Amino acid sequence: MIKKITCIECPKGCSLAVDIENCKVVSVTGNECPKGEKHAKAEVENPMRILTTAVLAEGLAVKMVPARTDKPIPKSLLMEAMEAVKRIRVERPLGVGEVIAKDLLGTGADLVSTRRVEKTS
Amino acid sequence: MVSRDLVIVGGGPAGMAAAVSAYENGVKDILVLERDQYLGGILNQCVHTGFGLEYFKEILTGPEYAERFIEKVTRVPEIEVSLKSFVVHLAKDKTLTYIKPGKLETVRPKALIMATGCREKTREMVHIPGTRPAGIFSAGLAQKLINIEGLLPGKEVVIVGSGDIGLIMARRFTLEGAKVNAVVEIQKQSRGLLRNVVQCLEDFEIPLYFSHKIAKIYGKDRVEMVDIVKVDEQFNEVAGSQFRIACDTILVSVGLIPENELIEMAGVELDKNTNSPVSDEVNETSIPGIFVCGNSFKVYDLVDSVTKDSVIAGRIAAEYLRSLK
């Protein structure tokens, strides 16, 4: 079975034709780079997404700390992950890439800050 | 009055890239004026990924992309950054007047780079009939409220237009627990990137209506509902196709316009349709020594392109300064 999907790895948005047999990817065409093939496989077998959001700050120079998971997490866990994110408060200054929450929902992915955040001046 | 070799208005991606590039091309007296309390411009509120793949060969979020340039700019002592500095007047001879807390300053640069970005088109510019209740936001404003201020502007949302910011905000509202009832696009296809249609709408099963428009907004104090109607090839309403969706919030994501009122004030010729400066060469204007870069020159899809464009602006401003000597 051929399934058409749009690659979301980069802004190019290649249109991929994915040949699937028994829920497994046999071949991928239409991708302009190797990321497309990897994406197609993951999309069919276990779709993953990087979660990007913002976390409440307390006593810092900003009200919200922008954050992301350091690697993709299962798409099906995005909403549950947000429930966990909403309970977090960042109370200490952070650098870019510093961990806010380790091993989010047991996915193995850490929630990390994407902005340098200082104390209230 | 203070004199400067180069003043750059705007400390977003365009202004920062222009500053670094001008410095690398030999300019040693640079002042960057930024109206916000930090550098980075709109990137600060773009917490999603998709930035930097072309320029850094990495997938970054907006704040991460900004940080790369903030680091560079703040490391160079010859680049002075003045925050909370809002330019209110620009004269033909490039004299700038700006306000910062408690002060009114003037500065006269030999060369000027305008990196003022763009602003969002509003409901008024796309003529949506109906009442004028609270609850109607431009998509970028809603983005700022959620990601910078920590406020959720509404619970049941209809988005007008399928520009990238609107699509990104459909996902953002959904993740924050609001419900996005519809994205309504008058054109036959999305104005935004296809990847955003997939990862922001399809991932969350948000309905997208092509060739549809909002026929009317209802609500007295707060938005209560909208009428949506199908349109034909000539954008005329198709009789009998109307339906109603309840919502408390409407986001407008119908495009961006370069923000060029300051150079217009100075007498630079602007294209009335695009609000971009009329020029033969990229980044130049009808007044020698005034350069425009990034989204204020032309609205780009990617910040990577803004950076590339602004690097050129920094270089040609440096060449112009050399030619004066």
H, E, C per residue of A36-105: HHHHHHHHHHCCEECCEEEEEECCECCCEEEEEECCCEEHHHHHHHHHHHHCCEECCCECCCCEEECCHH
How many Å apart are CA B174 and CA B157, to the nearest integer? 9
pLDDT band at B79 (very low <50, low <70, confident <90, very high): very high
* Judgement on whether residues A59 and A97 belong to the same structural domain of the protein: yes
* Judgement on whether residues A56 and A41 belong to the same structural domain of the protein: no
How many Å apart are CA A32 and CA B4, to the nearest integer? 47
- Smallest CA–CA distance from A72 into chain B, residue: B49
Q: Report pLDDT for A45.
A: 87
Query: Hey, which residues 71-90 in chain A have their CB within 8 Å of chain B?
Result: 75, 78-79, 82
Residue B309, pLDDT > 90, answer yes
Percent of chain B having pLDDT more than 90? Answer: 93
pLDDT band at B37 (very low <50, low <70, confident <90, very high): very high
Other CB atoms within 10 Å distance of the CB of residue B238: 12
ipTM here: 0.91
* Judgement on whether residues A60 and A106 belong to the same structural domain of the protein: yes
Q: Which residue matches tokens 């349709």?
A: B273
Flag whether A118 is in a domain. Answer: no
At B304 the three-state DSSP class reads: helix
CATH of region B2-119+256-324, choose from 1.20.990.10, 3.40.50.720, 3.50.50.60, 3.40.30.10: 3.50.50.60
Q: Residue A11 is nearest to which of B53, B63, B70, comparing CB atoms?
A: B53
CA dihedral A59, A62, A66, A70 (to 10 degrees): -50
Residue A117 contacts B where some CB pair is shorter than 8 Å: no
Query: Cα A49 from chain centroid?
Result: 4
Shortest Cα distance from A110 to chain B (angstroms)? 16
Q: CATH 3.50.50.60 residue ranges in chain B?
A: 2-119+256-324, 122-252
CATH of domain B122-252: 3.50.50.60
Flag whether A95 is in a domain. Answer: yes
Interface touch B63/A54, C-beta < 8 Å: no
pTM comes to 0.94
CATH label of the domain that carries residue A100 = 3.10.530.10
Contacts of B149 in chain A (CB under 8 A): 63-64
Other CB atoms within 10 Å distance of the CB of residue A105: 16
* Judgement on whether residues A38 and A77 belong to the same structural domain of the protein: no
- Smallest CA–CA distance from B200 into chain A, residue: A8
Flag whether A120 is in a domain. Answer: no
* Judgement on whether residues A25 and A78 belong to the same structural domain of the protein: no
Shortest Cα distance from A32 to chain B (angstroms)? 14
What's the domain range around A107? Answer: 52-113
- Rounded to a whole number of angstroms, the distance between the first and last alpha carbons of chain A is 60
* Judgement on whether residues A56 and A75 belong to the same structural domain of the protein: yes
Nearest to B31 by CA among B51, B13, B60, B9: B9
At B256 the three-state DSSP class reads: strand
Contacts of A13 in chain B (CB under 8 A): 193-195, 198
- Smallest CA–CA distance from A76 into chain B, residue: B203
Question: Partners of B32 in the beta sheet?
Answer: B8, B81
Q: Which residue matches tokens 């850094």?
A: B56
Q: Tens place of pLDDT for every residue, chain A, 121 residues?
A: 888 999 988 888 899 999 998 888 889 999 999 999 999 988 888 899 999 999 999 999 999 999 999 999 999 999 999 999 999 999 999 999 999 999 999 999 999 999 999 998 7
Q: Which residue matches tokens 């005329």?
A: B236
How many domains does chain A divide into? 2
At B5 the three-state DSSP class reads: strand
Percent of chain B having pLDDT more than 70? Answer: 100
Residue B288, pLDDT > 90, answer yes
In this prediction, residues B286-297 reach a mean pLDDT of 96
* Judgement on whether residues A67 and A86 belong to the same structural domain of the protein: yes
Shortest Cα distance from B301 to chain A (angstroms)? 9
Sheet holding A24-29, edge to edge: A2-6, A15-21, A24-29
Which of A7, A9, A10, A69 to mutate against chain B (most B CBs within 10 Å)? A10
Contacts of B70 in chain A (CB under 8 A): 116
